[in-house]
């Protein structure tokens, strides 16, 4: 799999709200559909791919630590992706990072799929 880079995320964020949304969807599609081996490989090369550096919404909308115009913030009325599956997915990713078992991969994958479903409900 050819994973998104931080440069691509920043470029998408600069283009338009739709480009940022498409980039967010692409990133979470990668996370939700990657194989066990693909996730292990990206961890070796990039370590943490679930953070604000890989989020076009964060690049586009976060100003002075606030997420004011972010579509996630607008829908949930919470900053920092609260009330989404983001923190669950990130938590299971961190567990997988240190204990790369099929069970931990499955837990990560399920929450990444839930986050992707949520993100697809947003309007760009």
SS3 of residue 63 by DSSP: strand
Cβ neighbors of 121 (< 8 A, separation 6 or more) are 75
Residue 113 tokens, joined: 């799929």
User: For every one of its 124 residues, what pLDDT tens digit does the chain have, with 9 covering 90 and above?
Assistant: 899 999 999 999 999 999 999 999 999 999 999 999 999 999 988 767 899 999 999 999 987 777 889 999 999 999 889 889 999 999 999 999 999 999 999 999 999 999 999 999 997 5
Instruction: Report which of 55, 54, 35, 29 is spatially closest to residue 117, judged by C-alpha positions.
Output: 29
End-to-end CA distance of the chain: 26
pTM of the predicted protein model = 0.93
């Amino acid at each position: 799999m050819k994973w998104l880079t931080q440069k691509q995320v920043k470029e998408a964020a600069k283009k338009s709200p739709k480009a940022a949304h498409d980039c967010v969807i692409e990133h979470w599609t990668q996370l939700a559909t990657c194989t066990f081996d693909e996730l292990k490989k990206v961890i070796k090369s990039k370590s943490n791919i679930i953070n604000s550096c890989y989020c076009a919404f964060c690049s586009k909308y976060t100003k002075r630590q606030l997420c004011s115009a972010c579509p996630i913030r607008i829908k949930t009325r919470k900053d920092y992706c609260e009330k989404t599956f983001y923190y669950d997915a990130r938590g299971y990713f961190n567990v997988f990072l240190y204990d790369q078992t099929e069970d931990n991969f499955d837990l990560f994958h399920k929450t990444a799929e839930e986050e992707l479903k949520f993100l697809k409900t947003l309007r760009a």
